[in-house]
Each structure stands twice: as structure tokens, then as C-alpha cells.
Amino acid sequence: MYQKIKKNKQNPIQYQNLNPFKEAEKKYKFYAGLQTDFSELIDVNNLNEQQMEQQGIHKNGSVYQFDYPQGVIQVKGFLNLDDQIRISKLCMNEYINQPYRTNLFIYKEDENFDKFIVHDDKRYHFNNKIRWANVGYQYDWNNRQYPQEKTQVPDPIQEISQRANNFLQLQNQYQSESVIINFYQSHDYMTGHLDDAELDQDSPIYSFSFGLSSVFVIGGPTKDEKPIAIKLDSGDLLVMSGHARKCYHGVPRVLADSFNPKQYCLIKHIRNPFQQQQLDGNVNADFHVFNYLSEHRININTRQVYKPQLEQ
């Protein structure tokens, strides 16, 4: 599902014989030399009341509920800048290490990844071969199921998930049992898929965005339904609940140069946190996390795997 963009595609995009979901994916993907039509991209920051009414979006403070697909909720700026840096730092420094698992486990142990590692005091430390990390129940990507192996979900992720559930009051109890952390470079994308391996298909999925903005598409239970496209910014919370929990969704585009933390701090009147720091071994400080997020997107999505009566 997680793919690197193909570069230098100069030919016009061909839409013949594509289902509506695939057509939307191709529409928003980055193609070198071609201009993307973002006219249908929903950026709730730029909608007036009439436009929201026309598109079936209901605003209550920072919360935006969508009529289609039913159960999609966007909360703008749910995580403040301190939260974003604190959680991103943990993703970069801790959640990619054992006992947690990353995509690197599928490669041979003698594989040389040195060429993918960025280690620069003026930038950050990270192995850009890492595409995802998994904490909690360890999802079996080949067989699309959850075996019994699991790690404890770290308290900071449990905390933001519980905070999201308490804020929206979608259900009485919510426990993050499996967490996927996706690391996107600026031209990466995630193809459309269903999150249908969990026995609990009723509890919501909470998805948190960090760094570069993205285009998120979500449609219906099949790819024959036309999806909508929503712009997600750093700090946003996106929720798939109810009907939307069972719908196809994906990220066809990460928007390069969309996260400028220095400008963000000026707008929010936040003290300047950008004093350069040295890497302490392979450990990133706040300075390095800011730099990483200006070039990448991190997405954390949490879900319950088992219904309470089936939990093992």
C-alpha cells in the first residue's frame, strides 16, 4: 500500500476505465511536470458557511462533521505545537526500536541501509528506509490478520487517543490496542485500502497528522463510490467512525513545503525554539524534529482490535 512516487512522468494523466476511487487517486498524485487540479480539495479553513452547507459539513468550534461519508470527523489543530514535537520526537527516537517493529524486519539482516540514513547536526538523524512502525498488536501484513504478539502501547499514544475519545464522546471506553505510525517523504503516497482486519469494526479509528500537509481521500465500502478529498494539516485529528470505519481511504499526496515551523511560530506568537542543537548520538532534539517535519509527514493511527468481550 505504501509506495514511492514515480518521477518524470510527463504524459497527460489517463482516466479511462478507472473506478471513481482510482480516478481520484490519480487526480491528486504528484507527477513531475504536471499541474494538479486542487479545486475539489476540501480545506475547511477556506470554506464559508454557505460552502460548508452545500458540501454537507457541520462546524462546531474546531470540529467538522461530514455527511458523506457518514462518520468522518475532522478536528483542526487538535494537537498543539508542543504536542506535535513531543510525539514526533518519540516516533523518531523510540518507537522505531525494539520491541516495536518496523518495515525493516522484512529485509535480510545483512542488508546495508547506510545510504538511507541521514545523520546531520544541522538537519536530523533518521533512516529514511523506515516507512512504518507498529506498536501494540503486531499486524501481519502478508496474511492481513492480527496474531497474538503485541507490545504495550506507549502512554503518550494512549493519552492522545483517550483525549480524542473524551473530546468527541464517541463511545464510553476506548483503548488503543494497535497503532501504525507511517513515515512519509514529500512525494510518497498510500494507496486506497480498507482497515478490515480488526474484529472490532465498530470502534473509531483516530488518525493524527504531524509535519507536511496531505490529501486524504475517503469514499464508500467499494471503490465504485466517488470519494471526497480532505486537506489534513499538522496537528489535525481525522476520525473514521460509524459507516466511515468501513470505507476505502488513502493518501494520494503529501504536499511539499506545506509545514514551515518558523512561520507557524510567528503566527502563533510562540517563542523561537530553533536554536541549533547537536545530535546526542542518534537522538534527535526539538531542533532536529522541526527540521524533519518540514520535509516529511508522520501519521499515527490508533484502533481497537478486539471488542471487549473477545479480548484475549
Identify the structural domains of the chain with CATH numbers, from first to last: 20-29+38-106+114-303 (2.60.120.590)
Q: Scan for cell 480488526, then name that residue.
A: 198
Q: Model's pTM, two decimal places?
A: 0.92
Question: Please, is 114 exposed, middle or buried when counting C-beta atoms within 10 Å of its C-beta (0-12, 13-18, 19+)?
Answer: exposed
Alpha helices in 218-305 (DSSP H): 261-268, 286-293
**What would the pLDDT profile of 24-59 be if each residue is shown by its tens digit?**
999 999 998 899 999 999 999 999 999 999 999 999
Q: Scan for cell 469514499, then name that residue.
A: 219
Bridge partners of 149, per DSSP, are: none
Alpha carbons 229 and 21: distance in angstroms, whole number: 10
Q: Annotated binding site: which residue ranges?
A: 193, 195, 249
Alpha carbons 25 and 12: distance in angstroms, whole number: 15
Alpha helices in the chain (DSSP H): 20-28, 49-54, 81-93, 155-168, 261-268, 286-293
Q: Annotated binding site for Fe cation: which residue ranges?
A: 193, 195, 249
**What would the pLDDT profile of 213-272 be if each residue is shown by its tens digit?**
999 999 999 999 999 999 999 999 999 999 999 999 999 999 999 997 666 666 666 555
Q: What is the amino acid identity at position 249?
A: H
Give the pLDDT confidence score for residue 108 in this predicted structure: 63
The 8 Å CB, 24+ separation contacts for 194-199 are 194/221, 194/246, 194/247, 194/248, 195/240, 195/245, 195/303, 196/246, 197/139, 197/144, 197/145, 197/146, 198/146, 198/303, 198/304, 198/305, 198/306, 199/305, 199/306, 199/307, 199/310
- The alpha carbon of residue 235 and the mean position of all alpha carbons in its chain are separated, in whole angstroms, by 11
Q: Is the pLDDT of residue 311 over 50?
A: no
* Length, in residues, of the chain: 312
pLDDT > 70 in the chain, percent: 89
Give the pLDDT confidence score for residue 147 in this predicted structure: 79
- The alpha carbon of residue 271 and the mean position of all alpha carbons in its chain are separated, in whole angstroms, by 27
Residues 6+ away with beta carbon under 8 Å from 250:
1, 25, 189, 190, 191, 192, 193, 216, 217
Alpha carbons 45 and 173: distance in angstroms, whole number: 31
User: What is the pLDDT of the chain when averaged over all its residues?
Assistant: 90
Give the pLDDT confidence score for residue 260 in this predicted structure: 78
Give the pLDDT confidence score for residue 310 in this predicted structure: 45
Give the pLDDT confidence score for residue 8 in this predicted structure: 45
